[in-house]
């Protein structure tokens, strides 16, 4: 879809300026294409054991070039950056939860958390 006028891409035109000069938000179909391209890209990264495609950008581009291109053409640049950062944060969160579970930590029920919160305020 190419979200910039000079970027290639499929026949989709990307965001258009609205009457006040700001760009229109992507429509449902554009978002769906972006998410599909993101999911394909992340599956490729998973196959090659790459979590951080920002830090390991050269490896990601070399091993998943087709998927990288589709992801970057179908999503706004800010979305690409956000999704890549979120992937790293989610991986760190999952690793932390696995480590806590391995150490015997359990989940605190919501009712108990609320009681503790009220007790600390009082």
Domain ranges for the chain: 28-121
Angle made by CA atoms 97, 102, 106, in degrees to the nearest 5: 65
The pLDDT of residue 9: 45
Q: Return the pLDDT at 15.
A: 60
pTM above 0.85, yes or no: no
Which pLDDT value is given to residue 26? 81
pLDDT of the chain, 122 residues: tens digit per residue: 454 443 444 444 556 666 777 777 788 999 999 999 999 999 999 999 999 999 998 999 999 999 999 999 999 999 999 999 999 999 999 999 999 888 888 777 777 777 777 777 76
Whole-angstrom distance, CA of residue 25 vs CA of residue 69: 22
Judge whether 84 and 53 are in contact, CB under 8 Å.
yes
Rg (CA), the chain: 20
């Amino acid at each position: 879809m190419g979200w910039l006028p000079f970027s290639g891409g499929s026949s989709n035109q990307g965001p258009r300026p609205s009457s006040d000069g700001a760009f229109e938000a992507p429509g449902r179909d554009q978002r769906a294409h972006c998410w599909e391209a993101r999911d394909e890209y992340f599956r490729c990264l998973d196959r090659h054991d790459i979590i951080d495609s920002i830090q390991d950008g050269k490896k990601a581009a070399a091993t998943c070039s087709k998927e990288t291109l589709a992801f970057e053409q179908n999503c706004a640049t800010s979305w690409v950056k956000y999704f890549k950062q979120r992937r790293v944060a989610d991986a760190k969160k999952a690793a932390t939860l696995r480590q806590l579970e391995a150490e015997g930590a359990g989940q605190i029920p919501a009712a108990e958390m609320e009681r503790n919160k009220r007790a600390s305020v009082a």
